[in-house]
Amino acid sequence: MVVLRNMRQEEYPDYCQYFIDVYSQEIAENYGHSMEYSIELAKKELQRCFPNGLEGKEHSLLCIEAEIKGQAYLVGYLWHSINSESKSTFIYDFYVSSEYQGLGYGTQALSELEKQLQGNGIEQIKLRVAFHNERALKLYQTVGFAITGFNMSKNLTGTAST
């Protein structure tokens, strides 16, 4: 069984470190930026979305807890932001620790999120998944997400013009 609960203040610094490490790596890989610049961008994204830490109401930062052998374990994180006007939410970050992947916790967490959102009148969940993240893509498609578009980019530096 999985429970989604609000992140506690004492858990926030660990989440920030995880997010900066992982997201900066993704930025560097996907956009070709240096790690130094990618880390700066990841930190700016956290500051933009959580200017007052966990005090804001626009973004929800949840901990995914699973009951394992009668004890609650933190197995991952889910960050989303509801847009009441469009009756949708956008998942910014969804992470299940590697040692807990493949055990159904991700599927259960998304199901729990759906229940919570439906109870609040939300009709759609949106997200972005990196093209190389085949495991996540498979999970999302398995639980009913549909591909709605592609992000594309082209580097212009170092390109010779003719």
Q: What is the mean pLDDT of each run of 10 residues along the chain (162 residues)?
A: 96 97 93 95 96 93 96 97 96 96 96 95 94 89 92 71 51
The model carries a pTM of 0.90
Where do we find the tokens 């919570």?
116
123 burial (CB, 10 Å; 0-12 / 13-18 / 19+) is: exposed
Q: Hey, what are 110's tokens?
A: 């998304």
Burial readout 33-57 (b: 16 or more C-beta within 10 A, e: otherwise) = eeeeebbeebeebbeeebeeeeeee
114 burial (CB, 10 Å; 0-12 / 13-18 / 19+) is: middle
- Alpha carbons 122 and 57: distance in angstroms, whole number: 16
Please provide residue 43's backbone torsions phi and psi, each rounded to the nearest 5 degrees.
-65, -40
